[in-house]
Structure 1
Amino acid sequence: MSGDGAGPGDAEENLRPLRTDLRPVVEAVREAGAAAFVAVGDRFDDDLRFLTRFSGPDRPYALVVVPDTESGDRAGRAVLCAPALFREQAEREFVAAARDADGEFHDGIGREIRTEGVGDHAGERAAGVVDDLADGANAATEGDGPTVLAPASIPHDAAVYLERADNDLTSTDAVADARARKTPAEVDRLRRVQRAAVAGMARAEAVLAESGVTDTTAEKSKRDSRPPLRWEGEPLTTERLRREVNQVLAARGVRDAGNTVIGAGPSAADLHYVGDDPIRPGETVLLDISPRGPDGYYGDVTRTFVVDGDGGWERRAYVAVEAAREAALDEVEPGVPAKTVHGEAAAELAAYGFDPNADEGEAGFTHGTGHGVGVSLHEGPSLSGAGELRPGHVVTVEPGVYDPEIGGVRLEDLILVTDDGYEILAEYPFGIVPGIDSA
């Protein structure tokens, strides 16, 4: 058994500056013949966090981006309407951090902070900035207000304020598209938090390997006929194991964010189980660890173990999922349709006799093969969706099979699509028996 070698020092390693290139947003505004782009949200809005790199308050604020004029008398600008009490932080995180060593903005888009009208709704403040900067120059027809692009997730009340100010609001995928392809600086963060997740997995596997079977004579066919495993003199439960994992995550400077999913037996078939269940010998223990790092980026790794198994359903499921993972990875390269990766994993599971199209609560493969990971745990691209894989995509590969009456098996890694294939961001060995490295 071995991890990735991650240690507490990872949180202080030198990382490339984390900056967002706003030029794709400006280009989307131009292509739509719009006047501006507006995003409204709070510190929990991942689009706004990505666009601004500002970890602001838990009340709404707004970002307005306008392109340069065709005459060249005004450069492109991005205005963050921040609360007055957060001005210094906003200047540091949104403005200063976007400057190169020579003092110029790295993407050529000027940035500024405005704190006027702090008592007004963020949507109303954004509408005021649009009116000030856009001058209605891109109205569709004379007498109409300017077209303003916004993410589809813009809050309804913010949209109402913008429309009341005579703006024609249109949704755009520009932010989602920009988020899907990661920069080297973003990959730095993803790799760091994934190393922490792998370290948490190593701790969980060690605890399972140290756990004892207290009654080997009881009948194995009934789940409750064998007492739970014991570790350090007490029954081992999913909650005890979760605490051990989360302590490791905290020591490495990341937050568990409520995403340390551990199920045992039937609860291992629950994709998001965070309850407390006894862990018994002979049943699957599924651990899905998805912490969040200081800059907002997530990790995501899953392994499945069995202590004192009898080689029945769980062994067959494990072999099938391993084969599905390999089949999926064999398809990963730039230009491959994302659906192809999912299709190959599903076909491999079907070859082993598992339903590749099972509905939730049924036995078989009940979810997609993978999803993008970044400042959201689930973002584009989806390996079950449209589009092709591109360099810079960071996605999970996580086939699994489940039986609600028995348990579940899932194996998951986080990969970066490269120019000629893929890179696993933090490797971890495979093996159904904890403490025995099968890699």
Structure 2
Amino acid sequence: MVSMVSRYESLQNAIEQELEAYDADAFVHIGDRFDDLLRYCTHFSGPDRDYAFVYGSGQSVLCAPRLFGEQAEREFIGDIVRTDHQQNGSTPVIRAIETINELTAAARILLPSHVSHRVISVLEDDFEVCTTDTDFGRAQKTSNERTQIESVQTAAQHGMAHAEAILAETEVQQDTLHWKGEMLTTERLRREVNAVLAKQGVQDAGNTVIGAGRSCSDLHFTGNDEIRTGETVLLDISPRGKSGYYADLTRTFVVGIDTWTRTAYDAVRDAQDAALAALDNGEGTEAKAVHQAASAVLSDHGFAVGDVSVGMYHGTGHGVGLSLHEAPSLSSDELLKAGHVITVEPGVYDPEKGGVRIEDLIMVTQSSYENLTDYPRCLVPSSR
């Protein structure tokens, strides 16, 4: 894990290494607040219109949008902030060109590969342009980033506890669950969870996924479904904090248990235990070994894995940070590194019966791992 004090130095070193690898003189990124790599490079949470970040000759410059200069001064982790009034309100691309020319006599510049063709075509009038897919080491979280992620995970746990308590308090009328005199649906439960997240100071970001019965098999279900007795209720809560970092937490509950549900739950719980055991050696563990460990246990329990319609048809986990899904993937050949924050989330699904998934948020360490989740795994809901 990279220390908090060296966050900017680490980014600076990563950019310098990439410039050397591409024989480039400056790095340029142009995007808006929805671009997670730009936010990582700047720590600026500015508006939904383009602005520019330039690095050259050992200095980094944020060309802040109009009216966002003070915010940029507070948030930017680099060296220099320039605002519109200093550069006559010109476009972000023109401002980037002017800044590059002030920093260095650049002939060749480096950009992220996902920058728009429109931006690249303008820059090509003045420079030779090359692109890179690097993330500049953002997958390895600093101690400060860990703190941010943990705080959001805590908020997710509050939301989960509220949902679990609601399920524990329900009454069965015919075969549907009712709470406070009204039928409980996935949409009603989602609103309750999101209200708790808002009170905790985080955004649900449209990522509160709640399925019941058959809709549990839809990995991103945000529709409205009645919740019935004996059906699994799968809650996947993935809010985003004010600093831009996500968390990710999944639990499955049921009011009235049948044989399939108990069998599926035991298989998923055991698979998660096996996946975590595969992380015991920490840094240097092959990412796909975690997925393979979970898959082997699910297979032993009689559930298929892979390109299937019944069983587990997703990977065991992914990185979490400024993006909800980022590197590393636990299906890849990548070696895990200290500071990687990943989900461990095996699941099994049957479109005719329901679905079960259990998900914790994990940080890889040099010698093992730390679980950033502090929420019980239980199938029968209770008030906490």
Do both share a fold (TM > 0.5)? yes
Structure 1 distance, partners of 2:290, 2:204, is 29
For the pair 1:235 / 2:183, whether they are aligned, the reply is yes
Structure 2 distance, partners of 1:19, 1:418, is 17
Equivalence for 2:103: 133
Equivalence for 1:389: 336
Aligned-residue offset at 1:351: 1.0
Aligned-residue offset at 1:25: 1.3
Equivalence for 1:271: 219
Equivalence for 1:349: 298
392, 401, 407: which one pairs with 2:348? 401
Aligned-residue offset at 1:271: 0.4
Task: Write out per-residue CA displacement over residues 247-275 of structure 1, whole angstroms, 9 at most, x where no aligned residue.
Answer: 11111111111111000011111000111
Cα distance, 1:31–1:388 mapped onto 2, change above 3 Å: same
For the pair 1:433 / 2:380, whether they are aligned, the reply is yes
Equivalent residue pairs, number: 376
Equivalence for 1:124: 94
33, 44, 51: which one pairs with 2:41? 51
Which structure 1 residue ranges, 5 or more long, are not aligned? 1-15, 68-75, 99-108, 137-145, 216-225
Structure 2 distance, partners of 1:110, 1:279, is 54
Aligned-residue offset at 1:118: 5.5
Cα distance, 1:134–1:196 mapped onto 2, change above 3 Å: same
Structure 2 distance, partners of 1:161, 1:122, is 11
Aligned-residue offset at 1:19: 5.4
Structure 2 distance, partners of 1:167, 1:404, is 53
Contact 2:53 2:62 (C-alpha < 8 Å) held by counterparts: yes
4, 14, 26: which one pairs with 2:16? 26
Cα distance, 1:93–1:85 mapped onto 2, change above 3 Å: same
Structure 1 distance, partners of 2:360, 2:39, is 25
Structure 2 distance, partners of 1:118, 1:270, is 50
Structure 1 distance, partners of 2:75, 2:383, is 46
For the pair 1:160 / 2:121, whether they are aligned, the reply is yes
TM-score, normalisation: structure 2: 0.93
For the pair 1:147 / 2:117, whether they are aligned, the reply is no
Aligned partner of residue 172 in structure 2, secondary structure: coil
Aligned-residue offset at 1:436: 8.4
For the pair 1:377 / 2:324, whether they are aligned, the reply is yes
Structure 2 distance, partners of 1:166, 1:398, is 45
Task: Write out per-residue CA displacement over residues 279-332 of structure 1, whole angstroms, 9 at most, x where no aligned residue.
Answer: 00001100000011110111100000111122x221111111111101100011
Contact 2:161 2:383 (C-alpha < 8 Å) held by counterparts: no
For the pair 1:184 / 2:158, whether they are aligned, the reply is no
Aligned-residue offset at 1:33: 1.7
For the pair 1:112 / 2:81, whether they are aligned, the reply is yes
Cα distance, 1:47–1:255 mapped onto 2, change above 3 Å: same
**Residue identity (%):** 52
For the pair 1:40 / 2:3, whether they are aligned, the reply is no
Aligned partner of residue 271 in structure 2, secondary structure: helix
Cα distance, 1:196–1:17 mapped onto 2, change above 3 Å: farther
Aligned-residue offset at 1:385: 1.4
Equivalence for 1:65: 55
Contact 1:127 1:161 (C-alpha < 8 Å) held by counterparts: no
Cα distance, 1:125–1:150 mapped onto 2, change above 3 Å: same
Cα distance, 1:263–1:376 mapped onto 2, change above 3 Å: same
2:70 is aligned with what amino acid?
E
Contact 2:208 2:239 (C-alpha < 8 Å) held by counterparts: yes
Aligned partner of residue 187 in structure 1, secondary structure: helix
Equivalence for 2:165: 206
Task: Write out per-residue CA displacement over residues 122-181 of structure 1, whole angstroms, 9 at most, x where no aligned residue.
Answer: 223222322332213xxxxxxxxx2222222212211111112232222241xx241100
Structure 1 distance, partners of 2:372, 2:155, is 11
Contact 1:18 1:185 (C-alpha < 8 Å) held by counterparts: no
1:47 is aligned with what amino acid?
L
Aligned partner of residue 185 in structure 1, secondary structure: helix
Aligned-residue offset at 1:113: 2.1
1:399 is aligned with what amino acid?
P
Structure with max Cα Rg:
1
Structure 2 distance, partners of 1:351, 1:49, is 43
Cα distance, 1:17–1:197 mapped onto 2, change above 3 Å: farther
Superposition CA RMSD, Å: 1.8
49, 61, 81: which one pairs with 2:63? 81
Structure 2 distance, partners of 1:364, 1:135, is 58
Structure 2 distance, partners of 1:167, 1:306, is 60
2:233 is aligned with what amino acid?
V
Aligned partner of residue 213 in structure 1, secondary structure: strand
For the pair 1:299 / 2:247, whether they are aligned, the reply is yes
Structure 1 distance, partners of 2:185, 2:79, is 54
1:328 is aligned with what amino acid?
A
2:294 is aligned with what amino acid?
A
Contact 2:204 2:238 (C-alpha < 8 Å) held by counterparts: yes
152, 155, 165: which one pairs with 1:196? 155
Task: Write out per-residue CA displacement over residues 170-203 of structure 1, whole angstroms, 9 at most, x where no aligned residue.
Answer: 2241xx2411000000000011000110111111
Equivalence for 1:256: 204
For the pair 1:358 / 2:328, whether they are aligned, the reply is no
Structure 1 distance, partners of 2:136, 2:173, is 53
2:300 is aligned with what amino acid?
A
Contact 2:120 2:129 (C-alpha < 8 Å) held by counterparts: no
Equivalence for 1:223: none
